Amino acid sequence: MDLFFLIVCVEWICQEERYTDGVKWRFLEHKGPVFAPPYEPIPGNVRFYYDGKQMKLSPEAEEVATFFAKMLDHEYTTKDIFRKNFFKDWRKEMTPEEKAKITDLSKCNFTEMSVYFKAQSEARKQMSKDEKLKIKEENERVLQEYGFCVMDNHKERIANFRIEPPGLFRGRGDHPKMGMLKRRIRPEDVIVNCSKDSKHPKPPPGTKWKEVRHDNKVTWLVSWNENIQGSIKYIMLNPSSRIKGEKDWQKYETARRLKKCVDRIRNQYREDWKSKEMRIRQRAVALYFIDKLALRAGNEKEEGETADTVGCCSLRVEHINLYPEKDGQEFVVEFDFLGKDSIRYYNKVPVEKRVYKNVQLFMENKQPEDDLFDRLNTSILNKHLQELMDGLTAKVFRTYNASITLQQQLKELTNPDENVPAKILSYNRANRAVAILCNHQRAPPKTFEKSMQTLQTKIDAKKDQLSDARRELKSAKADAKVRRDEKAVEAKKKAVERIEEQLMKLEVQATDREENKQIALGTSKLNYLDPRISVAWCKKWEIPVEKIYNKTQREKFAWAIDMADDDYEF
DNA sequence: ATAGGCACTTAGGACTATCTTC
DNA sequence: GAAGATAGTCCTAAGTGCCTAT
C-alpha cells in the first residue's frame, strides 16, 4: 500500500515534467455528497411561547427556532450581535402571521425546546449497547458507500463527504455575522466534479445537481456556495491521499530549498533596512518579523465582514509599542494583536537598532488605526519573495522555521542515556518550542486543575510505594547476609526498579502536561513539521513511531515513514 | 495597482470513542 | 457497569496565495 503510494508519486512526478499545465487527475469517480438529514419536527408537547402565550410555529420557523434553542446554554446567545443577526434571519423564515406577531426576541421562550434536546442527548448517551452498535454499523455503511472515491486507479478516502448541516453561524472572536442562519444545502446547490468516463453520482430521487463538471485541473469532488460569507465550500480528499500527500511533500521540499538560501535572503533584507525607498524598508522589516517571529503574511480583509484580525502586513500602529529600554533590554518592540481565529499574539522582542528606528519611522504621524506598513501588502511581498527564490512565499518561512527549530531542538534536548519516556518528553518539548514560535494556543482544558491533582495524588502514592519497596529491599539484604538467600534480594531489587520507572513515567507525564497547559501541539505536528525529521529521530533512537504519531497521523505521513532514514537532514 | 473569485492549507474547539477507575 | 478522564476524530471557520479582469 505504502509502496504503491510511492510508485504513484514517482509516476506522477515523472509526468509533472511533461505536464506543467496543472492537471490533477485523469480519472475521478465518486458517489457524491451525503446531505444533512431532513428536519424532524419536534413533538407537539414541546411548546414554544411568545410573550407568555403558547404558539405553534410553522415547520420552517420552528426549525430555525430549534437551532437557537440548542444553543441556549452558550454565552453567545446573550450577545447583542448574535441575537440581532439571528432574529433578522429567523423572521425571514416566518409566515406573514408569525412575522406580524413575533417582533421581539426577548419575548420568545425556547425553554421547553431546550429541555427537550437536552433530554434527547441524554437518552442517546443512555442507549443500550445494541442500539449503539446499530448506529455504528450504519455509520460504517455510509462511510463505505460515500467515504471513498477512485482517483487514477486508486481508491482514496474522502475527507468531508457530508455536506454541512444548516444551523446558526458562529464565527470565532468578535464576528459581525455571528447568529446568522446558515442555510440548508440541497442537490440543486451542488456542483459535482468527476471525470467524463466515470459513473456519475446520482442526485437523490426527484432532485437535480446544479451542475456536473469535469475539471481535472482541480482536486475537489463537490462544491457549493455558502451563504454567510458568499464563499465556496468543497469536498476534497483525506490527507492520506496521494494528491494531498504529494502536495505536503512538495511544501517541505520548498522549505528545504529556502534553507539553502536563507542566509542570502537574510543578508539582503538587512541591507534593505537602509534603503532610501520607504516601500523597500517596510518590505524588509516585515520580512524580518515574518522570519524571526513566524508571523503570518496578513492579507487584507474586508472590514465588517469578518472579525478584526491581522497578520504581519496588515499590522496597525495600535498593535505595536516601542520601548527604547525594557526589562534590561534595548530596543524592544511589543506586539499585541489578534491573529487568525482571534488568537491573541503577545510578544516583547528586542530587535536590532536599525529595525527599531525603522518601525519608529513607520509609526510617525499616524493614527492608531493606520497601517504600520502603508506601502506594503502580501502581494507586493510575495512578488519580491518569488524573485528571491522560485516558489517562495511568506508562509514558507513559517514552515521552514518550524521544521528547522524542531530539528535543532531535538538535537539539543535528546539525551542518549535516557529511557524512552524521557526521550518522548524531549520530543514533546521540541514540538512545544515550535508551537510557541507559531503561537498555537488552546484554551486550558476545563478539567485541567483537577486532572493535575489526580496525577499528583498518583505520584504521591507511587512515592510511598517506592519507599516501602526500598525498605523491604533493605531488610531482604540484611536477611540475605544471615540466610544466604540471594533470590529474594534480586526480586526485591527488581520491584524497586519497576516502581522507580513507574514513578519516573508519572513525573514525566506531569511535567509534560503542565508545560502543555495552554499550548496546542497538534497544529504544528500536522501542518508545519517535516514528518521526516520526526521519523528519522524515531529510527535513530529506536522509538516506535506510534509513540509520536497516532494511526491517522501515520496514514497522513505514510510517505515520510517510508522515505526517511535515521540520518535524514531537513 | 486593485478587486474579486477561486482553490487550497491551516486552525481551535466540539464531539465521540475508548480507556481507566471506582 | 457507571462515571470520569483522556485520546482521537470531526467540523468547519479562517487563513494564504494565485489568477483574471479592469
Q: Calculate the angstrom distance between C1' of C1 and CA of A121.
A: 20
Is the Cβ atom of A147 within 7 Å of strand C at any atom? Answer: no
Q: Are A246 and A9 in contact (CB under 8 A)?
A: yes
Q: Calculate the angstrom distance between C1' of B4 and CA of A383.
A: 19
C-alpha A282/C-alpha A273 separation (Å) is 8
The nucleotide minimizing the C1' distance to residue A237's CA is: B8
A291: which 3 cell numbers? Answer: 522570519
Q: Are A51 and A27 in contact (CB under 8 A)?
A: no
Is the Cβ atom of A377 within 7 Å of strand B at any atom? Answer: yes
**Closest residue by Cα to the C1' atom of nucleotide B2?**
A379
**Closest residue by Cα to the C1' atom of nucleotide C6?**
A451
* pLDDT, position A485: 66
A122: which 3 cell numbers? Answer: 441524554
* pLDDT, position A473: 79
C-alpha A469/C-alpha A562 separation (Å) is 45
C-alpha A12/C-alpha A435 separation (Å) is 33
* pLDDT, position A8: 54
CA angle A278, A283, A284 (to 5 degrees): 100
Characterize A437-455 residue by residue with b for buried, 16 or more Cβ atoms within 10 angstroms of its Cβ, and e for exposed. Answer: bbbbbeeeeeeeeeeeeeb
The nucleotide minimizing the C1' distance to residue A402's CA is: B10
**Closest residue by Cα to the C1' atom of nucleotide C12?**
A164
The nucleotide minimizing the C1' distance to residue A251's CA is: B9
For every one of its 570 residues, what pLDDT tens digit does chain A have, with 9 covering 90 and above?
344 555 555 555 544 443 457 899 999 999 999 999 999 999 999 999 999 999 999 999 999 999 999 999 888 899 999 999 999 999 999 999 999 999 999 999 999 999 999 888 888 887 777 778 888 888 889 999 999 999 999 999 999 999 999 999 999 999 999 999 999 999 999 999 999 999 999 999 999 999 999 999 999 999 999 999 999 999 999 999 999 999 999 999 999 999 999 999 999 999 999 999 999 999 999 999 999 999 999 999 998 899 999 999 999 999 999 999 999 999 999 999 999 999 999 999 999 999 999 999 999 999 999 999 999 999 999 999 999 999 999 999 999 999 999 999 999 999 999 988 889 989 999 999 999 999 998 888 777 777 777 777 777 777 877 788 888 878 877 777 776 667 777 877 887 887 787 778 778 778 778 888 889 999 999 999 999 999 999 999 999 999 999 999 999 999 999 888 899 999
Which residues 6+ apart lie within 8 Å of A455 measured at CB?
Answer: A506, A509, A510, A513
Is the Cβ atom of A230 within 7 Å of strand B at any atom? Answer: yes
Is the Cβ atom of A522 within 7 Å of strand B at any atom? Answer: yes
Neighbours of A1 (CB within 10 A): 7
The DSSP output letter for A547 is: G
Q: Which of residues 443-502 of A touch strand C (CB under 7 A)?
A: 447, 450-451, 454-455
A31: which 3 cell numbers? Answer: 458517489
Is the Cβ atom of A379 within 7 Å of strand B at any atom? Answer: yes
A484: which 3 cell numbers? Answer: 544466604
The nucleotide minimizing the C1' distance to residue A164's CA is: C12
Q: Calculate the angstrom distance between C1' of B19 and CA of A423.
A: 24
Q: Calculate the angstrom distance between C1' of B22 and CA of A454.
A: 14
Q: Show which residues of A are catalytic.
A: 528
User: pTM for this one?
Assistant: 0.90
Q: Calculate the angstrom distance between C1' of B13 and CA of A429.
A: 23
A220: which 3 cell numbers? Answer: 475537489
* pLDDT, position A11: 56
A495: which 3 cell numbers? Answer: 520491584
Strands of the A48-50 sheet, one edge to the other: A53-55, A48-50, A108-109
Q: Which of residues 290-319 of A touch strand C (CB under 7 A)?
A: 296-299, 301, 306-307, 309, 311
DSSP for A439-501 reads T-B-PPPTTHHHHHHHHHHHHHHHHHHHHHHHHHHHHHHHHHHHH--HHHHHHHHHHHHHHHH
Neighbours of A474 (CB within 10 A): 13
Of all helices (H) and strands (E), which one includes residue A131? helix A129-146
Q: Calculate the angstrom distance between C1' of C16 and CA of A296.
A: 9
Helix (H, G, I), strand (E, B) or coil at A35: coil
Distance of CA A441 to CAs A344, A435, A444, A519, Å?
9, 8, 9, 5
CA A95 to chain centre: 41
The nucleotide minimizing the C1' distance to residue A71's CA is: B14
The nucleotide minimizing the C1' distance to residue A393's CA is: C17
State the helix-helix crossing angle for A394-413 and A378-388, rounded to 10 degrees.
60
